[in-house]
Amino acid sequence: MRKSLVLCVTPVLLTLLAQAARIPAGTGVNVRLGQSISSDKARSGDTWSGTLADDVAASGRVVARRGDPVLGKVVDAKASGRLSGRADIELQLTSINGSPVVSSTVGSTGSGHKGRNAKAIGGGAAAGAIIGAIAGGGKGAAIGAGAGGAAGTAGAAATGKKDVKFPVETILTFTIR
C-alpha cells in the first residue's frame, strides 16, 4: 500500500518541483489582472490576484502555463487630491502558481491639476467680470470677477480628482529580479 502511494505521489511532486523551478532574473512575465485596482481605493500592502497571460519559460522549459494563478501586492498607492497632488499606484508580482517570486514594480501616475484648475478658475473669473460689467459697470465687473473665480475654484474642487486605475483584464508586464 505504501509503495503504491509513493508511486502515485512521486509524479505529482516532480511536476510541482518543475513548476517551482526558479525563473531567471530578467524574465518578463505578462499578467492579466483579475480585478480593477485604482489609486483612490487601493492601499499599500493590499493584495491582488490574476492569471498568467502567456507561458513562462526558463532554460528552454515551460515552468508556468498561461492561465496559471498569480498573486501580487500594492507597493504604493496615493489618491489624487481635489486641487493638487498626483495620483500614483505601484504593483508588484509576489507569486506564480504559489511559488514566491520577486519582481519589478509596474505603476502609473496621474496627470497634474495646474492647467485644468487655472482654466476653470480663470474662465469663471472672466465670465463673472463680463456679466458684472454688463450688469453694473466697473464695480460690477470686479464683484463678478471675484464671484466667477470663486465659482471656478468650487467647480475645480468638485470635479478635480484625477485618480489612476488598472481595469480588470489589463495585461501588465513584470520583470523577475
Residue 15 domain flag: no
Cell of 170: 489589463
Residue 69 domain flag: yes
- pLDDT, one tens digit per residue, over 22-36 is 899 999 999 999 999
Residue 4 domain flag: no
Residues 114, 115, 116, 117: is their CA dihedral positive or negative?
Answer: positive
Please give the sequence-ordered ranges of beta strands (E in DSSP) within 37-84, or none if there are none.
37-38, 47-52, 56-58, 61-64, 69-78
Closest CA to 130 of 120, 119, 145, 149: 145
In the predicted structure, residue 4 carries a pLDDT above the cut 90:
no
Helix, strand, coil percent values for the chain (each to nearest 5): 35, 30, 30
Same domain? For 28 and 106 the reply is yes
Residue 6 domain flag: no
What is the pTM (predicted TM-score) of this model?
Answer: 0.63
- pLDDT, one tens digit per residue, over 158-174 is 445 678 999 999 999 99
Query: What is the rounded end-to-end Cα distance, in angstroms, of the chain?
Result: 44
Contact at 8 Å (CB) between 32 and 169? yes
Same domain? For 43 and 101 the reply is yes
- pLDDT, one tens digit per residue, over 32-62 is 999 999 999 999 999 999 999 999 998 889 9
